Amino acid sequence: MLPIYNVPDAQVSILKRRMVGERAYPERLLAGVERIFGEGVTPEQAVKRILESVRLEGDEALRRWSEKIDGVKLDSFRVPASSFAEAMGSLPPRLIEALRTAAERIRSFHRRQPIPSWEENGLGQRFTPVERVGVYVPGGSAPLPSSLLMSVIPAQVAGVEEIIVCTPPEPHPAILAAAAICGVESVYRLGGAQAIAAMAFGTESLPKVDKIVGAGNVFVTLAKKQVYGLVGLDGLAGPTETMVIADATANPDWVAADLLAQAEHDPLATAILLTPDLALAKAVQQAVERQLPRLSRREIIRQSLESNGGIVLVRDLDEAARLADEFAPEHLCLSVAEPRPLMDKIRNAGGFFLGEYSFEVLGDYVAGPSHVMPTSGTARFASPLNVYDFLKISSVIGLEPSLARELSAVSAEIAHAEGLTAHAAAAELRLGGAPLPTE
């Protein structure tokens, strides 16, 4: 059963934030690492070994790791053009239409983001898109065509020239259909850390990218962390999370369904309800127990709820807002009578879902904003994936001579204060003044 906590107990358990990678790895995961890499090898060490081998050996290392980890022998990595048409033809028309609708809404939303290049009085800024982007699309226990749409479309709106997608072999037809709908032709059958390595370093078959985006499993996250600096990143995705704030007006069956939907992602996923209403808390508990047995991923959900989920009884909605602000959840669902005033009290959340009809699953698929959102409390300083993630700002300085001379004197004064005489001399030469320093 979904446990009920008081606030002090919740703050030292389910509301306590951990650093990315601090969570204990499941025993099954550690056993798999040891089986492939040898006794005593940690996930971090395994990822480092994969990255280094791909950097040195290129495609040969990719083939070796794909066979060893995924059990697939690959002669070539790129998905052939014919596979996209086959995928489109193999799926139900209603699914194709749903993917098209989602793509249209995602594109429409991101087109509203302004890209304000400007120049005035000799100063300005210029926005230019990143040249080549790599998108990782999970495809293991749950293939996610929605993640392809949510990552690729903002990059296209930004004007990225080349987008490549990596997804584990063998790609689900829905992922290939989503790529076709977006017009992406460069899809590679590579998963896990080896995919991140291929995009970061480049190989004989894959070009090196400038930035990698998209969430994945723990090995994808560890690999992204280790290649940061060589390439740009959208962030380090921790396990997904939803926090619901609900009052007595909320429908307990709907609240339960929203918590269960989040928990089915991963045994490490977090689903938390904050409520001042004990009767609602108990009703949600009971609804979770009723709904869980009929769900296909019920064992994953059960593990998630037992390890990371729960209901927190708060004094009032103001206390719920304070706790939510401290937790900075990826998704914050406000299932209350007046959601907007409550939202105004909260600064930190990847996405706000206002009212019970704006539920988080709509955000996962079709509402419009990207569902790639900051996790692990990083909503305190990070944003959902958006057009700006694929743009660079360059400062533009083109001053008129009269203003340059005026500012040269100011610059020289500051340079002398810093003891940087070469800086001062470069400015003073523009004044026709002091000679080069002799000491």
CA dist., res. 158 & res. 389, Å (int) = 9
Active-site pick, 241, 264, 330, 356 = 330
CA dist., res. 373 & res. 380, Å (int) = 12
Q: What is the DSSP letter of 290?
A: H
b vs e for 35-73, b when ≥16 Cβ sit within 10 Å of the residue's Cβ? eebeeeeebbebbbbbbebbbeebbebbbebbeebbeee
Query: Nearest 5 degrees, angle CA 296-CA 300-CA 304?
Result: 135
> Going by DSSP bridges, is the β-strand pair 123-129/391-397 parallel, antiparallel, or unpaired?
antiparallel
* C-alpha gyration radius of the chain: 26
CA dist., res. 427 & res. 437, Å (int) = 13
Cβ(158)–Cβ(390) below 8 Å: yes
Active site residue 331: yes
Query: Nearest 5 degrees, angle CA 26-CA 198-CA 239?
Result: 30
> Going by DSSP bridges, is the β-strand pair 187-189/118-120 parallel, antiparallel, or unpaired?
unpaired
SS3 190: coil
Active-site pick, 265, 331, 360, 428 = 331
Nearest to 311 by CA among 250, 376, 253, 245: 245
Angle subtended by helix axes 173-182 and 93-110, to nearest 10? 40
Query: Nearest 5 degrees, angle CA 374-CA 167-CA 217?
Result: 45
**What stretch of H or E contains 393?**
strand 391-397
Cβ(77)–Cβ(206) below 8 Å: yes
Q: Which two tokens stand for residue 109?
A: 């939303």
Cβ(215)–Cβ(372) below 8 Å: yes
User: Cα 333 to the chain's mean position, in Å?
Assistant: 19
**What stretch of H or E contains 331?**
strand 331-335
Q: Which residues are catalytic?
A: 330-331
